Structure 1
Amino acid sequence: MSSATRLALPTAALTALAFGATAALAAPVSAAPNTTPEKVCGTGYKTVNSTPVGSLGTVYLTYNASTGKNCVATIRTNPGAAVDVSAWVYVPDTDEYHEESGSFTSYAGPVYATGKGHCVNWGGHIQQIHVQVDGSNCGRLQEQKATFTR
């Protein structure tokens, strides 16, 4: 993959996120109220970071020390009728990008990516409120959080 293509991928992903573009990549998921990111991501995953999506829910970054993988899930505060929800993760060092987006009653995700030894960018949205965290879990860098409405 050319360096121009690698640079265009995160730009395109962020542009799509900024303009509210979504793709139904999976059938809507229904979950019991009060689910947790650990339940969504699976055994061995622990929450290492999170950011609110206004009052609508929270996007969680979890990590599994045994596998070295990150998992992102966007969980609604009040599950109910299906609404537009997404969860995504991007690893700049490896150009690895995964996203789930569509109409969901409770949460979007899980989406997984390599984590051990890599900074990650991650985020999601619920309805028109989008959040993104860049440079997360790097140790040496201060992460940048952004919330915007579209």
Structure 2
Amino acid sequence: MPRRLASAATVLGLTAAGMTLTVGTAEAASYNSACGSGYSVIDSMDVGDGNTFLTYNSSTGYNCVVTVGDAPGTSQILGARLRLHSTSTTWKSGEMDDGVFSYYAGPVYAYAKGSCIDWGGRAASNYTRVNYGVHCG
């Protein structure tokens, strides 16, 4: 009888450990087609608790940026930014979508056929962190 109790305790311990590992593992966010039809992902970046996606519609010449959180349905700070390339560190209101969202920030659009753009986003509890890059096309 003590042997069965030890075996049961071992199984329960392993099951609990497995559940802890499964619950603690977050999957990276994937693009959710929020920009609409005709947009294809041309770049992406990990921005902490989510991913920011840069998309392009070759028939219209518009770029679009969306940041998708790693925990869909959970309110979190998310941001998406897109503008024509600038040396300014200030972003205008039409160039970004920042706030607390349950699924994603954006979409933010800019016509940029043959131009360089600044793009990026945030998805973290640290509201001051913004990752961004420059893309030319």
The residue aligned with 1:117 is: 114
* Cα drift, residue 90 of structure 1: 1.4
Letter in 2 for 1:36: Y
* Cα drift, residue 46 of structure 1: 0.1
Q: TM-score, normalised by structure 1?
A: 0.61
Max Rg structure: 2
* Structure 2 Cα separation of the partners of residues 42 and 59 of structure 1: 16
Structure 1: stretches of 5+ with no match in the other structure: 1-33, 139-150
RMSD: 2.2
* Structure 1 Cα separation of the partners of residues 84 and 46 of structure 2: 21
The sequence identity of aligned pairs, in percent, is 37
Match of 1:61 among 54, 61, 65: 54
* Structure 1 Cα separation of the partners of residues 47 and 99 of structure 2: 16
Asked if the contact 1:63/1:115 (under 8 Å) is kept, the reply is no
Letter in 2 for 1:137: C
Match of 2:99 among 79, 92, 102: 102
* Cα drift, residue 106 of structure 1: 1.0
The residue aligned with 1:43 is: 37
**Deviations 1:99-128, CA, capped at 9 Å, x for gaps:** 111110111000000121101110111122
Asked if the contact 1:89/1:111 (under 8 Å) is kept, the reply is yes
Report how many residues are paired. 101
Q: How does 1:1-150 map to 2 (within 5 A)?
A: 36-37=31-32, 39-54=33-48, 56-92=49-85, 98-127=95-124, 128=126, 129-134=129-134, 136-138=135-137
* Structure 1 Cα separation of the partners of residues 132 and 107 of structure 2: 16
* Structure 2 Cα separation of the partners of residues 92 and 120 of structure 1: 4
Letter in 2 for 1:60: F
* Cα drift, residue 35 of structure 1: 6.2
**Deviations 1:28-78, CA, capped at 9 Å, x for gaps:** xxxxxx7624x1100000000111113x11111000001100000001122
Higher helix share: 2
* Structure 1 Cα separation of the partners of residues 112 and 43 of structure 2: 13
